């Protein structure tokens, strides 16, 4: 069995919370089912450039409220990609 192939991993949609750096994204691997990923977190350096991505870790209330605000859009996008079950 072959290992992970980054060429087969596609990012279909992406959202980023500008305040906390948390990212949500929809990915699809090798034509499989589209799935939601929470994280990574991409914070800013003092000079305004992006730092290296880090694990999302524990979510703050600000993170939760941001997810709450966009969850219907995320759900609709994922449902369109997955199709009826």
52-64, pLDDT tens digit by residue? Answer: 999 999 999 999 9
Q: What is the pLDDT of residues 5-42, one digit of tens each?
A: 999 999 999 999 999 999 999 999 999 999 999 999 99
- C-alpha to C-alpha distance for 34 and 36, rounded to whole angstroms: 7
The b-or-e profile of 48-57 (16+ CB within 10 A means b, else e) is eeeeeeeebe
pLDDT at 1 over 60: no
- C-alpha to C-alpha distance for 18 and 52, rounded to whole angstroms: 15
pLDDT at 83 over 80: no
Q: 5: how many CB neighbours lie within 10 A of its CB?
A: 9
Q: What is the pLDDT of residues 36-53, one digit of tens each?
A: 999 999 998 899 898 999
């Amino acid at each position: 069995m072959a290992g992970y192939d980054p060429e087969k991993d596609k990012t279909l949609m992406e959202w980023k919370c500008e305040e906390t750096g948390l990212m949500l994204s929809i990915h699809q691997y090798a034509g499989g089912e589209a799935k939601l990923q929470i994280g990574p977190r991409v914070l800013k350096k003092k000079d305004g450039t992006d730092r290296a991505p880090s694990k999302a870790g524990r979510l703050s209330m600000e993170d939760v409220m941001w997810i709450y605000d966009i969850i219907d859009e995320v759900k609709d996008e994922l449902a369109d990609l997955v199709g009826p079950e």
